[in-house]
Structure 1
Amino acid sequence: MTYLVHTAHAQFVGLWLGVVGWTLTIVTIGLVQWRVWVVDDLSVITSGLAWVGIWRVCFYSHVLVTSQYDVMFCQKIAISDAFTPADIAAAQVLMLVALILGLVGNAGAVYGLRNIYFGLDEPKPIRLAFSFGGALFLMAGLCSSVPVLWNLNSVVTNQTIHFPSNFHMPPAPVRQYTGGGIAMGMVSFMLMIISGIIFLSYRFPVRQGPKVTPQWPEEGHSAIWDPGKSSLFFNKDNTNHCQGRDNRAFQAEENV
């Protein structure tokens, strides 16, 4: 059984990075603060700020209140809605795909580390598990990076969304800036990409058997076996090819 734990310290760290990145992906999906709109009309949006997420739009209002919130008005954004922009529609799909890929990638990484820590020294299942988990982590990070960076570009270029009248949103914000959803999404996909690279870079140690190099006596030397030292040494005197020791017990029997 080969001890392999010392070869997978980086992969252990990579697993934690992947788990944290995947957890942050879940939080990113649930956050509504992807884009923060600053509005000048405070008659409905009392706080002057509206949050645009990938699933809903929310703002504080003393005029409009939804039943499940105290002073917050929210409206859902569906992928089938005609006004839904491409960046939000892509985020709804790709973030869920990243969530599933990250979950399966975690399972593959845990299986590979389990084989190492439990002493399994077969290279094939360990390589397959790490390659499978690393590839899924990498794909999950890339899937989540597309909507996050796309929405970031929409904020930087101050692109608007033509909401219907029941959303009570202005045609365009005075200005907008990135919220916590985009920032957390950037951290999450970077962690998963780093985790995937770490797992894909694992190399199984090469097995090397003990080298046996026979040594032959040089010319003019003779091989002599020393039973007391259990070793073979060479004597420069070629006339004495072996050296023996007297057995005193045998001599005593002959003298009887």
Structure 2
Amino acid sequence: MDPVVEVVALFLGFLGWVMVGITIPNRYWKVSTVDGNVITTSTIYENLWMSCATDSTGVHNCREFPSLLALSGYVQASRALMIASVVMGAFGIVATMIGMQCCRVGGENLTMKGRLAGTGGAFFLLQGLCTMISVSWYAFNITQVFFDPLYPGTKYELGEALYIGWCSAILAICGGSCLLCACKVGRDDTSPYPYRNTNGTVYSLGAQSQRKTGSTYDKNAYV
């Protein structure tokens, strides 16, 4: 594997992992819309853990969701997927760093290092998929309620955290794909090794076997 590809893939995966850590505590997963409102006295915004409100004077109050089981199913699933994304990203970073050729950890076994780097790429892919599913599912529920004309409650729009999450997923998927596509766990040598005798003449293994079996003689020599 090209060391440059390893470094680029590790950088993309690490950057995606950091952005996941920024996305999770961000408060602006969804923000109350001002569409159709003449006067807006307060802005409500939520994430996976709490709901906050800011009035026109700039004072804001936040409260955590009191019960996990009382939350909507997509919020619970998004929580689990984002936590799984952080764990997968951590495993991917460790496996990729050990599998890099410039890293002395793990010895000089390039085959084993290639497998570790490929494993790190798989973890980065899982990280990106978990983040993408979580963020997209959350955004789908927001848009579904927003375009429902019969919904009586507060409608929301997509917050900045969702866009950060999408960028994080794309970076992680790109890093994992680079590692998996460029990783070579082994090499098969199909060409025969040359043979050099004592007087300096070079023969291939095929020519050497022919000389031993006498297959180079003409058929007339046996008559």
TM-score band by shorter chain is: 0.7 to 0.9
Partner of 1:238: none
Partner of 1:176: 156
Aligned CA distance change for structure 1 residues 139 and 78 (closer, same or farther; 3 Å): farther
Q: 1:125-183 CA deviation, whole Å, 9 max, x = no partner?
A: 212211221111111111111110011112222259xxxxxxxxx9622x432111100
Q: 1:78-97 CA deviation, whole Å, 9 max, x = no partner?
A: 56242x21221111111011
Give 3-state SS (helix, strand or coil) of 1:31's partner. coil
Does structure 1 retain, via aligned residues, the 8 Å contact 2:30–2:156? yes
Aligned CA distance change for structure 1 residues 41 and 158 (closer, same or farther; 3 Å): same
1:61 corresponds to 2:55: yes
Q: Measure, in 2, the Cα distance between the counterparts of 1:199 and 1:95.
A: 22
TM-score, normalising length from structure 2?
0.73
Q: Higher helix proportion, which one?
A: 2
1:149 corresponds to 2:136: yes
Return 203-212 or 122-131, whichever deviates more.
Answer: 203-212
Q: Which runs of structure 2 are paired with 1:1-256 in the superposition (5 Å)?
A: 7-38=2-33, 40=37, 46-47=41-42, 49-61=43-55, 71-77=59-65, 80-82=68-70, 84-113=71-100, 115-118=101-104, 121-158=108-145, 172-173=153-154, 175-201=155-181, 202-204=183-185, 206=187, 211-212=193-194
Q: Which runs of 5+ in 1 are unaligned?
A: 64-69, 161-169, 216-224, 226-230, 233-256
Instruction: State the aligned residue count.
Output: 192
Q: Which runs of 5+ in 2 are unaligned?
A: 202-223
Q: Which has the larger radius of gyration?
A: 1
Offset at residue 77 of structure 1 (A):
2.2
TM-score, normalising length from structure 1?
0.65
Does structure 1 retain, via aligned residues, the 8 Å contact 2:45–2:51? yes
Return 73-82 or 205-214, whichever deviates more.
Answer: 205-214
Does structure 2 retain, via aligned residues, the 8 Å contact 1:105–1:133? yes
Aligned CA distance change for structure 1 residues 78 and 100 (closer, same or farther; 3 Å): farther
Q: Measure, in 2, the Cα distance between the counterparts of 1:205 and 1:128.
A: 9
- What one-letter code is carried by the residue in structure 2 that aligns with 1:172? G
Q: Measure, in 1, the Cα distance between the counterparts of 2:5 and 2:136.
A: 28
Q: Measure, in 2, the Cα distance between the counterparts of 1:131 and 1:212.
A: 33
Q: Measure, in 1, the Cα distance between the counterparts of 2:38 and 2:53.
A: 13
Q: Measure, in 2, the Cα distance between the counterparts of 1:126 and 1:110.
A: 10
Does structure 2 retain, via aligned residues, the 8 Å contact 1:55–1:78? no
